[in-house]
Amino acid sequence: MRLSRAQLLRLVPGLALAAAAPARAQVTAGTPPGSTANSPNPASSNGDLVYVLNSGEANILVLDGTTREERKRIPVLREVHHLALTPDGNTLMVGDSGANEMLFINPATGELRKREVLSNPYHLGFSPDGRRLVITSLRRDQVDIYGWDGSALTLQKRLSAPDMPSHLAFRPDNAVVYVTLQGNGQLVAISLETLEPLWSMDVGPEPAGVIWHNDRLLIGIMGSDHVAVVDPATQAIERTIAVGRGAHALFPAPKGGPIFVTSRVDSRISLLDPGTLAVTRTLRVPGGPDCISIDPQGRLWVTLRWQGRIAVIDPETGKMEVQRAGRSPHGILYASVAAQRAAATN
C-alpha cells in the first residue's frame, strides 16, 4: 500500500494535511543509535542494516541491525516482494512487480541509486557465476533471463512459464535454473546454455520455495505439509519430509548449518539436519512466517506476513522477539557490513 495505515487513518477523518509532506527517504545515519526511549536494544550500532520489503504498503523498511530502530523507509510505487544482492555485494536489487521497476540500492547506506523499468520482477536470483539474473513473474507466467555485466542488465530470453512461476534455484555449475510453478504443481528446469526449457515434472500442489542441496532439489510444497526431495538427474521425488501444513520456503544456514523451512498454515519454522534432512527442531512462529535472513550471530530475521511484523529468533534457544514492520512484509535481508560479499537472495 502506498500509504501507511497511519496516513490512512489521518485521511479518513479529514486530518491529512499534516501528513502531506514529501515521502522522500531521509537517511538518519547520524542519529546516535539506541538514543530513543523506545529502542528495543540499547547496544551500539555496528552499521548493519536490515531491509524489509512491505509488499502491501509500498515501502522498504530499513532497520538498524543492532538496535532494530527504524532508519528510514524507502517509498516504492506498487508491490515489492523479493530482493537479491549483486554478486559483488555492492548493490541490492529489489523488484517492484506491480510497478515494472527494479530498484538499485546501496546496501551499506540504504541510498536509492536508481530505478530501472523492467517487466514485472517478482522473484529474482543471480546464477552462481554472477553472470545471469533470472526473474520470475508470478502474475504474467513468464521467466526472464538477463545477462549481468556488473553494471547493467540485458534481457537475453523471455520464456512463457504457465502457471504462476514462483521461486527459483540454480545448479552450482550455472547450467540450469529450476523454477517452481505454483499454479500447476510443477517444477521446470531451464537450460542457461540454450535458454530453453529442458524438462518439467509434477512435484506436489502449489510448490513454492526451492533450493539446491547436495545434488538434490528441496521444494516446499505449500498445498501440502512437506518438503519434496527431487533428484534432478532422474526427475523423481526420492522422498518427502513432513514439516507442517503450508510448507513454503527453505533457507540454508551458512557453513553447513541447518536448513530452515517455513510453514505458513501451521505457522512454524522447521530445522532440518543438512546431512540427513531429518527434522531436528520445530519453532512455533505465529503470524505466517515467510522469508528468512540469517545474521552473523546465527539469528533468524523472519517476516510474519499476516501480522505485519518481523521476528528475530535465536534458533538455539527458541527465544523470539517481534516488532512491527508494515503491511504484508515479504522479502527480508540482513545486510552485514562485515559479510557483504556473500551474495544473498530472499
Partner 1 sequence: MFETLRDGWDQMNGWLFETLVQPLLYAAGLMEWAEDAFEWMDFALFGLLQVLIIYAICRPLEAWMPVEPRSDRRSIRTDVIYTLLTRLGLLPLIAFVAFASMEARVSGLVADSGWVPPTLETLFPILREWPLLALCVYIVVLDFGEYWRHRFQHMFPWWWALHSIHHAQRQMTFWTDDRNHIIDDMIGAVWFGGLALLIGVPPGQFPIVVVILRLAEALSHANVRLNFGALGERLFVSPRFHRLHHGVLGSGESGKNFAVLLPVWDMIFRTGDFERHRYPETGDPELPEALATGGWLHQQWAGLRRMGAALIGRG
Residues that bind partner 1 (CB under 8 A): 1-12, 16, 19-20, 22-24, 56-58, 75, 77-79, 98-100, 117-120, 137, 139-142, 158, 164, 182-183, 205-206, 222-223, 245-246, 264-265, 267, 286-288, 304-309, 324, 327-328
Q: Nearest 5°: CA angle at 86, between 134 and 297?
A: 115
Q: Could you give the CA distance from residue 203 to residue 320 in angstroms, rounded to a whole number?
A: 33
Measured from the CB atom, the residue of 99 and 277 that comes closer to partner 1 is: 99
Measured from the CB atom, the residue of 319 and 324 that comes closer to partner 1 is: 324
Measured from the CB atom, the residue of 54 and 336 that comes closer to partner 1 is: 54
Q: Could you give the CA distance from residue 248 to residue 339 in angstroms, rounded to a whole number?
A: 27
326 touches 79 (CB < 8 A): no
Q: Give the DSSP per-residue string, 181-218.
A: ETTTTEEEEEETTT-SEEEEEE--SSEEEEEEETTEEE
Alpha-helical regions (H) of the chain: 5-11
Alpha-helical regions (H) of 34-162: none
Q: Could you give the CA distance from residue 74 to residue 89 in angstroms, rounded to a whole number?
A: 20
Measured from the CB atom, the residue of 1 and 339 that comes closer to partner 1 is: 1
- Least separation in angstroms between residue 68's CB and partner 1 is 15
Measured from the CB atom, the residue of 265 and 339 that comes closer to partner 1 is: 265
- Least separation in angstroms between residue 296's CB and partner 1 is 29
Q: Could you give the CA distance from residue 321 to residue 80 in angstroms, rounded to a whole number?
A: 24
In sequence order, the 6+-apart residues with CB closer than 8 A to the CB of 136 are 122, 123, 124, 142, 143, 161, 165, 166, 167, 168, 179
Measured from the CB atom, the residue of 23 and 201 that comes closer to partner 1 is: 23
Q: How far is CA 67 from CA 40, 45, 151, in A?
A: 6, 6, 33
All cell numbers assigned to 265: 498454515
Measured from the CB atom, the residue of 60 and 164 that comes closer to partner 1 is: 164
- Least separation in angstroms between residue 344's CB and partner 1 is 23
SS3 of residue 126 by DSSP: strand
- Least separation in angstroms between residue 62's CB and partner 1 is 17
Measured from the CB atom, the residue of 281 and 327 that comes closer to partner 1 is: 327
- Least separation in angstroms between residue 46's CB and partner 1 is 27
Measured from the CB atom, the residue of 58 and 332 that comes closer to partner 1 is: 58
- Least separation in angstroms between residue 171's CB and partner 1 is 25
- Least separation in angstroms between residue 183's CB and partner 1 is 6
- Least separation in angstroms between residue 335's CB and partner 1 is 24
- Least separation in angstroms between residue 82's CB and partner 1 is 13
Sign of CA dihedral 305, 260, 135, 82: positive
Q: Could you give the CA distance from residue 157 to residue 195 in angstroms, rounded to a whole number?
A: 7
